[in-house]
Structure 1
Amino acid sequence: MADADDLLRELAGRHGVATSFWGWGGALKEVSPQTLRSVLGALGVPAGSPEEMRAALEDADLAAWRRILPPTTVAREGHDTTVLAHIPHGSAVSVWVTAEDGTEYPALQVENWDEPRTVDGVLTGRAAFLLPEGLPLGWHTLHAQNEGGTAEATLVVTPDRLTTTDRLADRQRWGLMGQLYSVRSSRSWGVGDFADLGDLAAIGAAEGASFVLVNPLHAAEPAPPIEDSPYLPTTRRFVNPLYLRVEDIPDYAYLTGEDRAEVEALAGEFAASNASADLLDRNASYTAKLEALDMIWRVPRSRAREDAYRRFCDGAGPGLDDFALWCALAERPDGPGLHEEAWPPPASARADLLREQLADRIDFHRWLQWVSDEQLDAAQRTARAAGMEIGLLHDLAVGVRPDGADAWVLADVLARGVAVGAPPDMYNQQGQNWSQPPWHPVRLAESGYAAYRDMLRTILRHAGGIRVDHVLGLFRLWWVPEGALPGDGAYVHYDHEALVGILALEAQRAGAIVIGEDLGVFEPWVRDYLAERGIFGTSILWFEYDGERPLPPEKYRQACLTSVNTHDLPPTAGYLAGEHVRLRETLGLLERSVEEELAAAEAEIDGVLGLLRERGLLPAEVSLADEQRVIEALYELTALTPSSLLGVALVDAVGDRRTQNQPGTYLEHPNWRIPLTGADGNGILLDDLHRNPRFASLLAVMRSAVDG
């Protein structure tokens, strides 16, 4: 058994599966053999008997030798990059690059003393080539040719450093952070929409804000019932039409009088609920919107509108067609379940037949993406025209639903039998299972990272920047085997040079900044690496410590988005009252007694209040009872940091108290259904936000603190 365990751990290590991890309490924990076998199985690596594992180790040794070229090479601008070509020993080989613009660049062969190996009965040699200097940034093709044939592979040249963030080092900038669906105006249909986003940006810009950071806007199900969590989408490439402002679609103007009256009646159903503090009902809103959108889609388009639509579809390519087919299938009440054989692969004769049968519905779902793209473009242009230097910051979720569009369309590059999650930590002491299939690291590389690239391009299309949720997932992800407890997982490592490099390339081309949410358990060098590549980090005041004391503000990072709060905690008014502890106790998420947790929370808050008083931001006589004063002092503290970006949570600006999301829960708490409310518990309309005294006061504090 000892030999088998040693083989298993060696095999896991060869495939990037960590055999141990540091727990949140500081203890080193070993991953169980059962977990290692399950994770290796999800990677397609047999790990049953010792004989299987020895064979798998030999395959791992020979994998690179069986290819003439590696499937994808990711190079950094200004760094020497060597490519290894594998050919029959003694034969000649030439290697060159064809750039995006068609220019060819020869590679230079350099000395390589690796001994030849017998691979599948063929003595195989390894030739080394240095990629030419001066290759432009972008997506290129690497070629190899020898007497036995030719090979092609993907070559990506990425920036050594994302330079878009360098311009932020001159001074501090601040912006608003909010959940778009929760921010409603008198014109909303029960949930916040793209027009509300533009208005929120305009309101913030008038007060001096440089950006608005919103929740992921990824697409959910094509018809109700739809998922509430914006972090559990069906796809990360396309947008959720739930956020459409129906009346802002140009073709709405050409509805018949009867149809317009019907749309107005549908909108009127939400007039009262827009200002309500009751839980949001996405299903009711989307049901009404789909009825109105179907009427508008049927309006004949002008020549200019039709041409614009066709250009959008052509630019989005087959990915949009596949997503629209999935939507047309998934919306049918009698449609097949995703895991049934009736769902054919996207590239199959059966799928082609379905495309013909469902042509109208496919067109409808393509059209929804087009008008959503137009309205996102309008929101970003509104933000910039209002004076925002950055504008919209979009959020990239970690993954997708296991039964969604990406799970079907991208099945070849996703792993099955496992889900992404997180090991136990201070705030989620039983660990988390997010039910999302992770990228398969090997298959993703073999595909040339095309799905990852296309996803980034869509999100960055109308953005001043992007926040990458759990950016540590570009380095490693916690894989939880199907049927296992969240804590019984293992870390699987990814090629971070490739994933971070491609992220930097696409952001550089879009002129966008990148912020990585680098909270939680991670290796210290990760933050240094991200900073080296020009990727900003994230600091939340409650999580920053210097030993046992709160971190002094001058010790915060410059290349960082710093804030008091995050959507996974209660608004600061609730946090100061210990509601995060009481909620977790109610939901059974504590490993210690509620008394111990409350005492720890009180000590944490007292430590931060002590720092505020030490820095002269909070007079000694001011207590937690004056929560507004305390919250404003906390945000003043963030302005004492060197961080280039400061985030102001909209919930804190209006005195909201309810927790938007409690990690580790699903139905136990109404996650992602909480509308924006004030300190009095009443709903707040976007129309009235600029007149809200508490909002105006906190933003005035930020202006004064940042601008001096």
Structure 2
Amino acid sequence: MTLARLAARHGVATEYSPSAGVTVVVPETAVVAVLGALGVDATTPEAVAAALDAAERAERERLLPPTLVVRAGEGPARPPAGLPPGTRLRVTTEEGETLTGEAGSDWGRLPLGVHTVEAQAPDGRSATAALVVSPARVPGPDRRTYGLLVQLYSLLSTRSWGMGDLGDLRELAAWAGRTHGAGFVQVNPLHAGVPGAPSDPSPYRPSSRRFPDPVHLRIEAIPEYAYVREGGGAGSGPREELDRILADAAELREQVLAKGVLIDRDAVWELKRRALELVVGGVELGPGRRADYHAFLAERGRALEDHATYQALAERHGPHWRSWPEKLRAPRSAEAVVRSDAELAARVDFHCRLAWLTDRQLAEAAEAAREAGMAVGIVHDLAVGVHPEGSDAWAQQDALAAGMSVGAPPDAFNARGQDWGLPPWRPDALAASGYAPYRGLLREILRHAGALRIDHVMGLFRLWWVPEGQEPTEGTYVRYDAEAMLAVLALEAHRAGALVIGEDLGTVEPGVREELASRGVFGTSVLWFERDWAGGGRPVPADAWRAECLATATTHDLPSTAARLSGEHVVLRHRLGLLDGDLERERAADAADTAEWLGLFERLGLLPEGPGTPGAPGVPGSPGAEEAEIKAVHRFLLATPARMVGVWLPDTVGDRRPQNLPGTWDQYPNWRLPIAGPDGQPLTLERIAASPRAHALLRELHARTAPPGARLV
């Protein structure tokens, strides 16, 4: 019982409920290991007793918690209850203004922001805490809208260098907004990947979530590129080298688009790195560009310096910082080494320049979306965590739990649980810092975002921690201060004018969706999962869907709609040995599931094409039938009250392959497939934009979401 009390004080679960009426006891070894990662010794009964006594004594003696939260608009702000009478309080706002008072008095209406509150008790005790004053809700969309969902690397144009880039994103946003009235484009995380080859192609296990990856740069769009092409002061050597790089890039693009070669991020980066050495290293910035760059450095501060330093050190010592010389394993000691090494200092500046260039192209994509009339704009994606050997893990060692990994407990879909290999935030470290690392992360990723999608948004409430070297079943939940996490999120989203979409699929503890909705955070609803399991498993009627959500037919982790309708996703899983049951039985169950949805669409009049002659829209199995059924799926989504409807871009052209197949590693080319047509042949952005099939589907979505009087193409 003493261990349970100690664990509860630190937000560590000793049991959990995977489903109603079921309770699972957490192994004691997991509880002890997790407490150890939080700096609490629980290895012996004596240590547990001492730690509990210390925690209870600290609770009794403290004046203020590390971080306080106030929601603006809910009346005057008040100091926390329980302060001794006569305690003097002083609040210093972000702007440097001060407010004073005593315990029990109103602070008045504080401005939004993260302020500092100081308390001085009559008995001589004092305390300082962060005070987060947040809006009650995050911003919402002005009107109902639809948009496109795409994994950017998969969207190649005739100008790409073997994978989609920020130039392609700019073109996609301009086309979708101007031609089809789309209100947003949602992309995969563009976070910086771990350097070195072979790299992990997954965008959900990055090196840094704070800074984007320069592999997404459109090299030709960098202003200094033109000076190298023209030989501006660099001589003919750089120009000839750049010509060779361009020829190699064209060949790489041709291999992916015409020869069936998988997207090779490492090959793309090697070409872009060579080009960037010429463009960045060989051309001086003009006065205006240099001023802009210096302003960027000042704004990004130490966070950017740390990231660029990690990149430079990784070039010399490899990306795994735990194996670096000891003096380089901590950012501040490494900083001194870099200052004394001219070559390293030059590489730090190089990587700072790359971050600046990428930031500016992200800004251009966002501007293109706004100019195209998009109601929301670019929706960026925030991964759950970072690679344990990457930039953020190196720079933020105090904020991350060493020896722990985020994952998921066993459930109906995965009896062994999951280990995602991502170190979690330490909730105590976040609170002690006034949530500074979390605030900085949100501020960075929201810089050019019209909205932010948060992967596994339930992690704002609790995360499943798995001790290093243990199976996922040997983990436990650790709780976070959701009130503070949501307050910081609402504050940063408000400042950026951005919406927030939470990916809340799968197991969600009671009350979480309701709390997120109360703060204005949209959920995610995927058609095939929307069944009334408590009422027999029937499809949820359109009018019973929640309004505050992004409604979609599929995601990057699920089969495309064409594969779902045809049953090809079942065959694929069987071929890869991922089916638990008999193939024919699984196919029959899947077909029944699909038929039930299609029957509902017909009864609702959403599949008006009806039966016809072979090759006509209504003949099952024909191309026309598939297109009609995909339209019906999206007509149903539009019949729900969902304020945002997302269209998986590969669905517009009948792509049958998933971008990621959970449960596979090298058995399937996850994160390396270009968008393709039904025959598997890759399609460029230009061909997608010219596709009659895509045009017909998007025209319907535009017609049903456009404001009155809007022009339809």
| TM-score in terms of structure 1 length | 0.91
Aligned to 1:557: 546
Cα 1:589–1:35 shift into 2, 3 Å: farther
- C-alpha distance in structure 2 between counterparts of 1:212 and 1:335, whole Å: 32
Partner of 1:134 in structure 2?
109
Q: Tell me the residue number matched to 1:285.
A: 268
Match of 2:95 among 94, 101, 122: 101
Matched with 2:133 is: 157
For structure 1, the 5+ residue unaligned runs are 1-5, 111-129
What displacement does 1:133 show? Answer: 2.3
Cα deviation code 1:643-683 (max 9, x no counterpart): 11000000111111112112233333321111111112111
Deviation at 1:247, TM superposition (A): 0.8
SS at match of 2:208: coil
Does the aligned pair in 2 maintain the 1:424–1:431 contact within 8 Å? yes
Worse-superposed segment, 610-619 or 348-357? 348-357
**1:33-44 superposed matches below 5 A:** 33-44=28-39
Structure 1 residue 41 displacement after superposition: 2.2
Q: CA–CA distance in 2 between the matches of 1:362 and 1:85?
A: 48
Deviation at 1:26, TM superposition (A): 7.2
Match status 1:267 vs 2:246? yes
Structure 1 residues 454 and 335, CA gap change in structure 2 (3 angstroms): closer
Matches of 1:261 and 1:7, distance apart in 2: 72
Equivalent-residue separation in structure 1 for 2:389 and 2:377 (angstroms): 33
Counterpart of 2:615 in structure 1 is: none
> Structure 1 residue 294: deviation in Å?
0.9
Aligned residue number for residue 684 of structure 1: 683
- Following TM superposition, by how much is the alpha carbon of 1:176 offset from its aligned partner in structure 2, in angstroms? 0.4
Asked if structure 2 preserves the Cα contact closer than 8 Å seen for 1:422 and 1:431, the reply is yes
Farther-moved stretch of structure 1 (362-371 vs 76-85): 76-85
CA contact (8 A) 1:213 1:392 kept: yes
Q: Is the 8 A contact 1:174 1:209 kept in 2?
A: yes
Structure 2 CA distance for partners of 1:638 and 1:215, relative to 1, 3 Å: same
| C-alpha deviation, 1:483, in angstroms | 1.9
Match of 1:183 in 2: 155
8 Å contact kept, 2:147–2:186: yes
Q: CA deviation at 1:85?
A: 9.1
Which residue matches 1:472? 458
Question: Alignment partner for residue 593 of structure 2, among 576, 600, 604?
Answer: 604
SS in 2 for 1:412: coil
Residues 617-636 of structure 1 mapped to structure 2, 5 A cutoff: 617-618=606-607, 621=611, 622=618, 623-625=620-622, 626-636=625-635
Q: Which amino acid aligns with 1:104?
A: T
**The 10-residue stretch of structure 1 (559-568 or 44-53) with the greater mean CA deviation from structure 2:** 44-53
Of stretches 266-275 and 653-662 in structure 1, the one that deviates more from structure 2 is 266-275
Q: What is the rounded CA distance, in whole Å, between the counterparts of 1:21 and 1:588 in structure 2?
A: 31
CA drift at 1:471:
0.6
After superposition, the Cα gap between the structure-2 partners of 1:50 and 1:335, relative to the gap in structure 1 and judged at 3 Å, is: closer
Matches within 5 A, 1:383-398: 383-398=369-384
> Residue in 2 aligned with 1:216?
189
Identity over aligned pairs, percent: 46
Would the alpha carbon gap of residues 689 and 247 (structure 1) be closer, same or farther in structure 2, given more than 3 Å must change?
A: same
Which structure 2 residues correspond to residues 13-92 of structure 1 after superposition, within 5 A? 13-23=8-18, 27-79=22-74, 82-84=78-80
- 1:327 and 2:303 matched: no
Shift of 1:448: 1.4
Distance 1:333 1:13, change over 3 A: closer
Question: Which of 267, 271, 291 is residue 307 of structure 1 equivalent to?
Answer: 291
SS where residue 491 of structure 2 aligns? helix
- Displacement of 1:339 in angstroms is 4.3
* Native 8 Å contact 2:70 2:134 kept in 1: yes
- 8 Å contact 1:24–1:426 — kept in the other structure? no
8 Å CA contact 1:481, 1:489 repeated in 2: yes
Q: Are the structure 2 counterparts of residues 93 and 28 from structure 1 closer, same or farther at C-alpha, using a change threshold of 3 Å?
A: closer
2:711 matched residue in structure 1: none
- Secondary structure, in 3 states, of the residue corresponding to 1:689? helix
Judging changes above 3 Å, is the alpha-carbon distance between structure 1 residues 85 and 161 closer, same or farther for their aligned structure 2 residues? Answer: closer
Instruction: Check conservation: 2:92, 2:98, Cα contact below 8 A.
Output: yes
Aligned pair in 2 of structure 1 residues 199, 449: CA closer, same or farther (>3 Å)? same
Query: Over the residues paired in the alignment, what is the CA RMSD in angstroms?
Result: 2.3
1:344 and 2:328 matched = yes
Contact 2:77 2:110 in 1 (8 A): no
Residue type at the aligned position of 2:108: E
The structural deviation recorded for 1:427 is 4.1
Counterpart-to-counterpart distance in 2, 1:421 and 1:583 = 26
Task: Give the whole-Å Cα distance in 2 for the aligned partners of 1:522 and 1:642.
Answer: 22
Question: Equivalent residue of 1:413, what SS?
Answer: coil
Per-residue deviation, 1:594: 4.5
Q: Secondary structure at the match of 2:277?
A: helix
Q: Secondary structure at the match of 1:675?
A: coil
Task: Name the residue aligned to 1:533.
Answer: 519
* 1:580–1:98 Cα change, 3 Å: same
Q: Secondary structure at the match of 2:465?
A: strand
Picking from 551, 567, 570, the partner of 1:578 is 567
Matched with 1:422 is 408
* Amino acid corresponding to residue 330 of structure 1 in structure 2: A
User: Whole-Å Cα distance in 2 between the matches of residues 667 and 142 of structure 1?
Assistant: 53
Rounded Cα–Cα distance in structure 2 between residues aligned with 1:506 and 1:423: 31
CA shift in 2, pair 1:502/1:550, >3 Å: same
Give the direction of change, closer, same or farther, for the CA distance of 1:355–1:658 in structure 2 (3 Å limit): farther
Deviation at 1:274, TM superposition (A): 5.0
CA contact (8 A) 1:423 1:487 kept: yes
Q: 1:319 Cα shift? A: 0.6
Taking the aligned partners of 2:15 and 2:319, their CA distance within structure 1 comes to 43
What's the offset of the Cα at 1:364?
Answer: 0.4
SS at match of 1:21: strand
Provide the residue aligned with 1:3 in structure 2.
none
Structure 2 CA distance for partners of 1:578 and 1:287, relative to 1, 3 Å:
same
**CA displacement, residues 295-325 of structure 1 (integer Å, 9 cap, x when unaligned):** 1112111111111100000000011001111
Summarize the Cα distance change of 1:350–1:642 in structure 2 as closer, same or farther, 3 Å threshold: closer
- Partner residue, 2:5: 10
Q: How does 1:250-265 map to 2 (within 5 A)?
A: 250-255=223-228, 256=231, 257-265=236-244
2:658 pairs with 1:659: yes
Structure 2 residue aligned with 1:367 = 353
1:108-151 CA deviation, whole Å, 9 max, x = no partner?
412xxxxxxxxxxxxxxxxxxx5612100011111123574754
Code of the aligned partner of 2:656: R
Residue identity in the other structure for 1:269 = D
Compared with structure 1, are the counterparts of its residues 353 and 109 closer, same or farther at alpha carbon in structure 2 (3 Å cutoff)? same
How far, CA to CA, are the matches of 1:655 and 1:427 in structure 2? Answer: 27
Q: What are the superposed Cα offsets for residues 57-89 of structure 1, whole Å, 9 maximum, x if unpaired?
A: 2222223345443222122113465545999x8
Could you say if the C-alpha distance between residues 334 and 613 of structure 1 is closer, same or farther in structure 2, counting changes exceeding 3 Å?
Answer: closer
Provide the C-alpha distance between the structure 1 equivalents of 2:316 and 2:567, rounded to a whole number of angstroms. Answer: 45
Q: Say if 1:66 and 1:86, in contact at 8 Å, map to a contact too.
A: no
TM-score (norm 2): 0.90
Cα pair 2:141 2:376 within 8 Å, conserved: no
Equivalent in the alignment of 1:127: none
Unaligned runs of 5+ in 2: 612-617, 709-713
Whether contact under 8 Å (2:327, 2:333) holds in the other structure is: no
Q: Is the CA contact (8 Å cut-off) linking 1:71 and 1:154 kept in structure 2?
A: yes
Task: Report deviation, 1:33.
Answer: 2.1
**Aligned partners of 1:435 and 1:384: how far apart in 2?**
37
What letter corresponds to residue 226 of structure 2 in structure 1? A
Change (3 A) 1:653 1:499: same
CA contact 1:478–1:491 (8 Å) conserved in 2? yes
1:232-265 deviation digits (Å, cap 9, x = unpaired): 1001000100000111111112112442342233
- Counterparts of 1:64 and 1:689 in 2: how far apart (Å)? 61
Distance 1:662 1:22 in 2: 28
1:419 match: secondary structure: strand
CA distance in 2, matches of 1:131, 1:409: 39
Q: Which of 239, 242, 256 matches 2:212?
A: 239
- Equivalent position of 1:637 in the other structure: 636
Shift, 1:538, TM fit: 0.8
Post-superposition Cα deviations, 1:458-509, rounded to whole Å, max 9, x if no partner, equal 1111111111111111011111222222233222111111111111110101
DSSP-derived class of the 2:313 partner: helix
Deviation at 1:435, TM superposition (A): 0.2
